Amino acid sequence: MEQRAHFSKKLEDLKVMVLRMAALSESAVHKAIRAYLENDADLAEAVIVGDEAINEMEDEIDNFSLELLALDQPMAVDLRTIVGAQRITVNLERLGDEAVNLAHRAIFLSTRPPMPHNPKMEDLANTVKKMLSEALKAYVDDDVSLAGQICRMDDKADDLTIAILRQMVADMVAESRIVERGVHAIIGARHLERVGDLSTNVAETVVFIVEGTSMKHNCRG
* Helix (H), strand (E) at residue 2: helix 2-38
The pLDDT value recorded for residue 219 is 62
- The total number of structural domains in the chain stands at 1
Q: What is the mean pLDDT of the chain?
A: 93
Q: Which tens digits make up the pLDDT trace of 91-135?
A: 999 999 999 999 999 999 999 998 888 899 999 999 999 999 999
Alpha-carbon dihedral of residues 25, 30, 34, 39, nearest 10 degrees? 10
C-alpha–C-alpha distance, residues 116 and 131, integer Å = 26
140 assigned to some structural domain: yes
Is 127 a member of any domain?
A: yes
Residue 15 included in any domain: yes
Its domain, for residue 155, covers 1-211
In a domain, 220, yes or no: no
Q: What is the mean pLDDT of residues 3-21?
A: 90
Task: Please answer whether residues 188 and 107 qualify as being in contact, where contact means their C-beta atoms are separated by less than 8 angstroms.
Answer: no
d(CA 126, CA 122): 6
* 221 belongs to a structural domain: no
Going by C-alpha positions, the residue among 211, 198, 77 that lies closest to residue 144 is 211
Indicate whether 220 pLDDT > 60: no
Higher-scoring residue by pLDDT: 57, 73:
57
- Host H or E run for residue 116: none
Q: Provide the total of helices (H) and of strands (E) in the chain, helices listed first.
A: 7, 0
Q: Could you give the CA distance from residue 93 to residue 204 in angstroms, rounded to a whole number?
A: 17
Q: What is the CATH number of the domain that holds 97?
A: 1.20.58.220
As a whole number of angstroms, the distance between CA 107 and CA 109 comes to 6
Q: Note whether residue 190 is domain-resident.
A: yes
Residue 167 inside a domain? The answer is yes
Residue 133 falls inside a structural domain: yes
Average pLDDT over every residue of 1-12 = 80
